[in-house]
A and B are shown apart, each in its own frame.
Chain A
Amino acid sequence: DAGVTQSPTHLIKTRGQQVTLRCSPKSGHDTVSWYQQALGQGPQFIFQYYEEEERQRGNFPDRFSGHQFPNYSSELNVNALLLGDSALYLCASSLVASGGRVDTQYFGPGTRLTVL
Chain B
Amino acid sequence: AQTVTQSQPEMSVQEAETVTLSCTYDTSESDYYLFWYKQPPSRQMILVIRQEAYKQQNATENRFSVNFQKAAKSFSLKISDSQLGDAAMYFCAYRSGVDDKIIFGKGTRLHILP
Q: Which residues of A contact B (CB under 8 A)?
A: 31, 33, 35, 40-45, 48, 55-56, 58, 88, 90, 92, 94, 101-102, 104-110, 112
CB contact under 8 A between A58 and B100, given known A42-B107, A109-B42, A110-B43: no
Chain B's nearest CB lies how many Å from the CB of A40? Answer: 8
- Do residues B101 and A45 form an inter-chain contact, with CB atoms below 8 A? yes
9 tightest A-B contacts by CB?
A: A42-B104, A107-B45, A45-B101, A102-B100, A109-B44, A110-B43, A43-B104, A42-B106, A42-B91
> Chain A's interface: helix, strand, loop or mixed, by majority?
strand
- Do residues B44 and A108 form an inter-chain contact, with CB atoms below 8 A? yes
Contact of B43 among A31, A58, A109 (CB under 8 A): A109
CB contact under 8 A between A107 and B44, given known A41-B106, A42-B106: yes
- Do residues B50 and A56 form an inter-chain contact, with CB atoms below 8 A? no
10 CB-based A-B contacts, threshold 8 Å: A48-B100, A55-B100, A94-B100, A101-B100, A106-B47, A107-B37, A109-B42, A109-B44, A110-B43, A110-B45
Cβ–Cβ < 8 Å partners of B107 in chain A: 41-42
Chain B's nearest CB lies how many Å from the CB of A35? Answer: 8
Cβ–Cβ < 8 Å partners of B42 in chain A: 109
Mark contacts of B40-68 with chain A using CB atoms, 8 A cut-off: 1 yes-contact digit, 0 otherwise.
Answer: 00111111001000000000000000000
Chain B's nearest CB lies how many Å from the CB of A68? Answer: 14
Closest to A108 in B: B44
Contacting A at CB under 8 A, from B73-112, are 91, 93, 97-107
Cβ–Cβ < 8 Å partners of A43 in chain B: 45, 91, 102, 104
Chain A's nearest CB lies how many Å from the CB of B21? Answer: 14
Cβ–Cβ < 8 Å partners of A107 in chain B: 37, 44-46
Cβ–Cβ < 8 Å partners of A104 in chain B: 47, 50
Closest to B109 in A: A40
